[in-house]
A and B are shown apart, each in its own frame.
Chain A
Amino acid sequence: MSVTSEATTIRPFQIDVPEERLADLRRRIEATRWPSRELADDRSQGVQLATVQELARYWTTDYDWRACEARLNALPQFMTEIDGVDIHFIHVRSPHENALPLIMTHGWPGSVVELLETVGPLTDPTAHGGDAEDAFHLVLPSLPGYGFSGEPAELGWDSGRVGQAWAELMQRLGYTRYVAQGGDVGAIVTDAMARQAPEGLLGVHINLLTAALLIADQLPAESEQERAALGALAEFQESGFAYFLEMATRPQTIGYALMDSPVALAAWLLDHDTDSYYKIAGAFVDGKPTANLTREHIVDNITLYWLTGTGASAARSYWEDGLARARFAVEPPPPTSVPVGFTTFPGEIWASPRSWAEAAYPDLAYFNEADKGGHFAAWEEPEVFSTEVRAAFRELR
């Protein structure tokens, strides 16, 4: 694929979804054909009918995509083609000139929507109870195949290649010193960058210990905390793993449903982990959102997947990373060679103790256990999350 010089320039981007797409979405939701109710009283058979039906009701009545669209359009958004794929990103410069550039990567089933509430605290700390010295210039890309980024049409787009694309992006933005942050798939990307150690990368911060998946048999299991984490990891691999396995092996098969049925997509995105599921279900069924994980924000994220038609392409990223993991089992990746910081949020799928973070990153530069927040830490608790990110990178400035 030839790359035109226009494509690699940084082009301003605005979202403008035609009204017909929203009308079509509403029609499809209203025409949903439902399965019968689950036979259990909890999430043990999957996303509960009452949860999805209440979400669907909200989606077609009170929910308004245009509010999210306006929120995104109020931020500086851009497109640039890197390594053959159009990359969408939000780029907010801090009012503080000496701010530290930071590229922060979302995960699955998330998007840049997860990170929007951190823009203020990270770029404008003094307006959010922080210090000017802790300011960041913030870059929030959408992963290839997610959100408004293009979908790779060729093989090889695993998280390592994404990390390389991000290094290119930061260079293209003129940043010669920067840091990187990520959770979920973003953690895999950020971990890869720490091993690639591109010029300019000063350090990284991660909030899901994806590296644990590769060294599961080497993780300490002595203390109560370690045993609890191991139990949580084992439970995830046994009963929480199904979406992961399906996407890692048959993304096209599940992709048909994710592209054709909004409710199928919504349920699929809700079924990530126990903690976040019950927080989300509570927001809909009980009217009790958890912190920033409101009905509106949850449906913003799902609607973004729907409108960009990225259900299948996002699943495909798991397929690519599955191949990468198989390669790493034969030939382990190089060690990290930049400082790595890690924060454990208490509601994470497995809350990693310090010993685990150290097992994965022997030169661990920062570690902390936050007192609230789960898998979608930035989304749920943007202030706590931002405090962590500031602390992790303070010494590197």
Chain B
Amino acid sequence: MSDTAVETAVEIRPFHVRIPDEALDDLRRRIAATQWPEKETVPDDSQGVPLATMQKLARHWATGYDWRRCEAELNALPQFITGIDGLDIHFVHVRSQHEDALPLIVNHGWPGSIVEQLKIIDRLTDPTAHGASADDAFHVVIPSMPGYGFSGKPTGTGWGPERMGRAWAELMGRLGYSQYVAQGGDWGAFVVDQMGLQAPEGLLAIHTNMPATVPADVDKASLAGEPPPSGLSAEERRAYEQLIRTYGQVEYAHMMAARPQTLYGIADSPVGLAAWLLDHNDADAQPAAAVAEALERTESATGELTRDEVLDNITLYWLTNTGVSASRLYWEYKGGFFNAKGVEIPVAVTVFPSEQYQAPRSWAERAYPNLIHFNEVDKGGHFAAWEQPELFSAELRAGFRSART
């Protein structure tokens, strides 16, 4: 069932975030009125997000946390809405002062949002202010996926990564960019891979920080939980074991792929929503170690992830009531996460050490025959841009350098 062509205005309209006081008061009231489960019966996170973590976070969320700071940050950026393929799409669009900058569209993931990319915008659009070259400047476009953030919520099925890829090509065209590149991690990686397959005119290259590189036979074996196939190099075997581990940690994905509508709690309970969003894994833990550490970090001079940033993201989901609509994306797309897709256009890959699996170069070269950049960095994880904005930006500059004409 596809949605009928809804009359959404195709002109590009400026947008500002204006959350009424009442919505923030309501959020705080609900958090304060949370009815809590008892403590988990294990001393670790093996039953889910621990009670102590949630209660500590909730206390700050209902008291010291200030959404207006995030709102001001967003409103300091040029934001817009435009109707594409029947749906309102929200995006941030920051042009570099350097006219020849390379247009770049960056796609967030789940449980993320545009909040994940806020710290890379200036680094990408104004490189000389960050010790990098003007030749590596970007014009940056950061959309919210349908059903996420301030974008519209689809009312019919069909908004999977393929359709999103086409929408992003349309968006870049509408913005007047005849040549551009695309970047993504998590769902963003699925979307840019689809864009790579669609190879729209103007798309010069993609960069992915969660590359889909697993060869078909290996992918099949890993999904079946088999022991590592013979003939894998040590690196490949390590990646295989990481895949097996991660498949045992993605029950949230199974739930959202099968029963997104059943998750009424993530629309009705702020703490319920927060726990759900926190329970994404990385290579080190579930909840992701990087996020768990961030909850203990009240500030960072070097751009590392902080507690308030994590709450910015969760609060955005809450205020836009996009918990369930975001989950529907998993229902829409039943394709593989990590299997090689057959992208032939130029691809840049950065492997972050705490991503769910570390793609070996051997697999990346097979999956992306036109591999223009491959680098294994030494820090950062699944939420690469969010956790390591400096390193991430450096990787995008390096990755796309050869794509610039």
Shortest CB distance A9–B (Å): 25
State in angstroms the CA–CA spacing of A52 and B279 once bound together: 26
| Across-interface contacts of B252 in A (CB, < 8 A) | 246, 250, 253
Tell me whether B261 and A255 are in contact (CB under 8 A): no
Instruction: Identify which of B267, B274, B279 gathers the most chain A CB atoms within 10 Å of its CB.
Output: B267
Contact of B251 with A by CB under 8 A: yes
Tell me whether B272 and A260 are in contact (CB under 8 A): yes
Interface residues in A28-59 by Cβ distance below 8 A to B read 32-41, 45-49, 52
Q: Assuming A250-B48, A261-B272, A309-B35, is B267 touching A34 (CB within 8 A)?
A: yes
Stretch at the interface among A109-117, A236-244, A340-348: A236-244
- Nearest A residue to B31, CB-CB: A260
Of B153, B261, B273, B321, which one neighbours A48 at CB under 8 angstroms?
B261
Contact of A74 with B by CB under 8 A: no
| Across-interface contacts of B275 in A (CB, < 8 A) | 252-254, 256-257
Of A36, A253, A259, A263, which one neighbours B325 at CB under 8 angstroms?
A36
| Across-interface contacts of A312 in B (CB, < 8 A) | 37-38
Instruction: Identify which of A33, A246, A261 gathers the most chain B CB atoms within 10 Å of its CB.
Output: A261
Contact of B12 with A by CB under 8 A: no
Q: Assuming A34-B268, A252-B40, is B258 touching A241 (CB within 8 A)?
A: yes
| Across-interface contacts of A255 in B (CB, < 8 A) | 37, 48
Interface residues in B242-284 by Cβ distance below 8 A to A read 251-252, 254-255, 257-269, 271-276, 278-279
State in angstroms the CA–CA spacing of A157 and B273 once bound together: 28
- Nearest A residue to B270, CB-CB: A260
Contact of B176 with A by CB under 8 A: no
Stretch at the interface among B97-105, B154-162, B178-186, B205-213: B154-162
Q: Assuming A152-B41, A311-B37, is B255 touching A242 (CB within 8 A)?
A: yes
Contact of A291 with B by CB under 8 A: no
Tell me whether B279 and A250 are in contact (CB under 8 A): yes
Instruction: Identify which of A151, A259, A309 gathers the most chain B CB atoms within 10 Å of its CB.
Output: A259
Interface size on B, residues (CB 8 A): 52
- Nearest A residue to B50, CB-CB: A252
Tell me whether B1 and A39 are in contact (CB under 8 A): yes
State in angstroms the CA–CA spacing of A34 and B261 once bound together: 10
| Across-interface contacts of B255 in A (CB, < 8 A) | 242-243, 245-246
B interface footprint on A300-323 (CB within 8 Å = 1, 0 otherwise): 000000000101110010010000
Of A39, A152, A261, A268, which one neighbours B155 at CB under 8 angstroms?
A39
Instruction: Identify which of A260, A267, A316 gathers the most chain B CB atoms within 10 Å of its CB.
Output: A260
| Across-interface contacts of A254 in B (CB, < 8 A) | 48, 265, 275-276
B interface footprint on A6-45 (CB within 8 Å = 1, 0 otherwise): 0000000000000000000000000011111111110001
Tell me whether B269 and A253 are in contact (CB under 8 A): no
State in angstroms the CA–CA spacing of A151 and B36 once bound together: 14
Tell me whether B265 and A264 are in contact (CB under 8 A): yes
Q: Assuming A250-B47, A309-B37, is B251 touching A35 (CB within 8 A)?
A: no
Q: Interface size bucket, A side? A: 35 or more
Contact of B324 with A by CB under 8 A: yes
State in angstroms the CA–CA spacing of A154 and B47 once bound together: 13
State in angstroms the CA–CA spacing of A268 and B272 once bound together: 13
| Across-interface contacts of A251 in B (CB, < 8 A) | 40, 47-48
State in angstroms the CA–CA spacing of A68 and B172 once bound together: 61
State in angstroms the CA–CA spacing of A242 and B153 once bound together: 24
| Across-interface contacts of B263 in A (CB, < 8 A) | 35, 46, 257, 264, 267
| Across-interface contacts of B47 in A (CB, < 8 A) | 250-253, 316, 319
- Nearest B residue to A49, CB-CB: B261
Tell me whether B328 and A45 are in contact (CB under 8 A): yes
| Across-interface contacts of A267 in B (CB, < 8 A) | 262-265
Contact of B51 with A by CB under 8 A: yes
Of B50, B251, B268, which one neighbours A245 at CB under 8 angstroms?
B251
Shortest CB distance B326–A (Å): 10
Instruction: Identify which of B48, B49, B273, B323 gathers the most chain A CB atoms within 10 Å of its CB.
Output: B48
- Nearest B residue to A242, CB-CB: B258
Tell me whether B261 and A38 are in contact (CB under 8 A): yes
State in angstroms the CA–CA spacing of A259 and B265 once bound together: 9
Tell me whether A260 and B41 are in contact (CB under 8 A): no
Instruction: Identify which of B35, B50, B54 gathers the most chain A CB atoms within 10 Å of its CB.
Output: B35
State in angstroms the CA–CA spacing of A33 and B264 once bound together: 8
- Nearest B residue to A255, CB-CB: B37
Contact of B34 with A by CB under 8 A: yes
| Across-interface contacts of B154 in A (CB, < 8 A) | 39
Of A37, A250, A311, which one neighbours B251 at CB under 8 angstroms?
A250
| Across-interface contacts of B262 in A (CB, < 8 A) | 46-47, 242-243, 267-268, 271
Q: Assuming A252-B50, A255-B48, is B267 touching A35 (CB within 8 A)?
A: yes
Tell me whether A45 and B261 are in contact (CB under 8 A): yes
Contact of A153 with B by CB under 8 A: yes
- Nearest A residue to B257, CB-CB: A242
State in angstroms the CA–CA spacing of A47 and B264 once bound together: 9
Given contacts A34-B267, A36-B324, 5 further A-B contacts (CB under 8 A): A46-B259, A241-B258, A252-B48, A256-B36, A259-B36
**Can you report 11 A-B residue pairs in the complex whose CB atoms are below 8 A from each other?**
A36-B321, A36-B325, A39-B155, A241-B258, A243-B255, A249-B48, A252-B37, A252-B49, A257-B272, A260-B265, A268-B264
